[in-house]
Amino acid sequence: MKPQELMQKLLKRATSGKLAHFYILNGRQGEFELQKEWTQTFIRRYWSEIESRKIIPQNLLSDADLLWISPPLNDDNEVTNYRVEDFSSLLSFLSYRGLSSQRRFVVVEDVERVSAIIANKLLKSLEESEGDVTFFWLNPHGHKLLSTIDSRAVKFTLCNEIPEKPLKILNELKPKFQTSYPLSQFLEEAKKNYPLEDLFQELLSYEQKNEGDAGLKQELLTFTQDWQRLETFHQSANVRLQWIHTYLQARFRADR
């Protein structure tokens, strides 16, 4: 669903008092910033338009009626999986009423990093409405979540609209990979004819529209996540093209 369409849909529900207790916002290819910005905008508009709250801080994350939970970083400043202690603030947050707002919000980023152990500890909070709290779980890659969590939420797809365009590069590469296409030849031709960013975007678009091996698609999601999080664009083009060659070789040979 387009961001503005979802915004109007939920604000309309809020106006009639039908805002749900728990939402999961699924993405397609790692729309981290889109989901964060959309959620902050929705909360700001809810407080302003629905509750007519007069003062809302410019830095919304500093507001006492919003609990925003992000995954921890390791010693190398890389994002890691959640720990139980990362949700310790949730218990105290839920035990109080809003200071400036009637409805409060809890936002959890990158929910694919929530383990089954943590999810089970959160079930009670997610299934027993506090009356004045709404949860937004952000799932920017659209990973499959635990059924016990997924079944308790109202789910929407929130992602950038990908314009339809011909897959010119992949249409040219597919027959080559279905036979024998050596890495050395691929690297040589890719540098001349296949811009890396265009090739990667076409591959994402192709996988979103076609059935294929689930394991391979998960590899692509992981690679996409690492590409964006760890800025692997700083790696040489050869390193990235080698990975894509391996992926396409497995993907298109499976289609023969």
- In the block, tokens 């959309």 appear at 38
* 128 and 172, same domain (yes or no): no
**Residue 114 located in a structural domain:** yes
Given this model, what pLDDT does residue 191 score? 87
- Please check whether residues 97 and 221 belong to one and the same domain: no
Q: Does pLDDT of 177 surpass 60?
A: yes
Instruction: Give CA–CA dist 103/105, Å, rounded.
Output: 7
Q: Tell me the percentage of the chain whose pLDDT exceeds 90.
A: 46
* Residues 137, 199 share a domain: no
Side-chain half-sphere CA neighbours of 225 within 13 A: 19
Same domain, 175 and 127: no
- Residue of higher predicted confidence among 241 and 255: 241
- Cα–Cα distance for residue pair 99/82, rounded to 1 Å: 28
CATH number for the domain including 92? 3.40.50.300
- Do the domain assignments include residue 153? yes
> Across residues 194-213, what is the average pLDDT?
78
Strands of 154-157's sheet in order across: 66-69, 104-108, 133-139, 22-26, 154-157
Give the residue among 154, 150, 68 at the shortest CA–CA distance from 116: 150
**pTM reported for the whole predicted model:** 0.65
DSSP string, 75-138: TTS-B----GGGGHHHHHHHTS--SS-SSEEEEES-GGG--HHHHHHHHHHHHS--SSEEEEEE
pLDDT single digits (tens) 32-82: 899 999 999 999 999 999 999 999 999 999 999 999 999 999 888 888 999
Q: What is the mean pLDDT of residues 153-176?
A: 82
pLDDT at 95: 87
pLDDT of residue 230: 47
- Between 105 and 229, the higher pLDDT residue: 105
Of 157, 190, 216, the position where a domain reaches its end is 157
Residue 125 lies in a domain: yes
pLDDT given at position 256: 47
Residues 184, 149 share a domain: no
Give yes or no: residues 190 and 223 share one domain.
yes
| Segment of 82-91, 164-173, 200-209 carrying the highest mean pLDDT | 82-91
User: How many structural domains are present in the chain?
Assistant: 2
Residues 120 and 180 in one domain: no
> 255 or 221: whose pLDDT is higher?
221
pLDDT-based confidence at residue 165 (cuts at 50, 70, 90)? low
Least confident of 138-147, 149-158, 194-203: 194-203
Residues 182 and 93 in one domain: no
Residue 163: inside a domain, yes or no?
A: no
Per-residue pLDDT, 89: 93
Domain holding 56, by residue range, is 3-157
Q: Within this chain, do residues 40 and 106 fall inside the same structural domain, yes or no? A: yes
The answer to whether residue 81 is domain-embedded is yes
Asked if residue 162 belongs to a domain, the reply is no
- Give the residue from 161, 215, 162, 129 showing the smallest Cα distance to 6: 161
* 213 plus 152 within the same structural domain: no
Mark whether 241 and 152 lie in a shared domain: no
112 and 235 inside one domain: no
pLDDT of residue 63: 97
CA distance 156 to 27: 9
Cα–Cα distance, 187 to 183 (Å, whole number): 6
Residues 106/90, Cβ–Cβ less than 8 Å: yes
Locate 80 and state its tokens. 């890691």
Is residue 144 domain-resident? yes
Mean of the per-residue pLDDT values of the chain: 86
Domain end position, chosen among 157, 183, 217: 157
Residue type, 78: E
Q: Which of 103, 133, 157 is the last residue of a domain?
A: 157
Domain presence at residue 127: yes
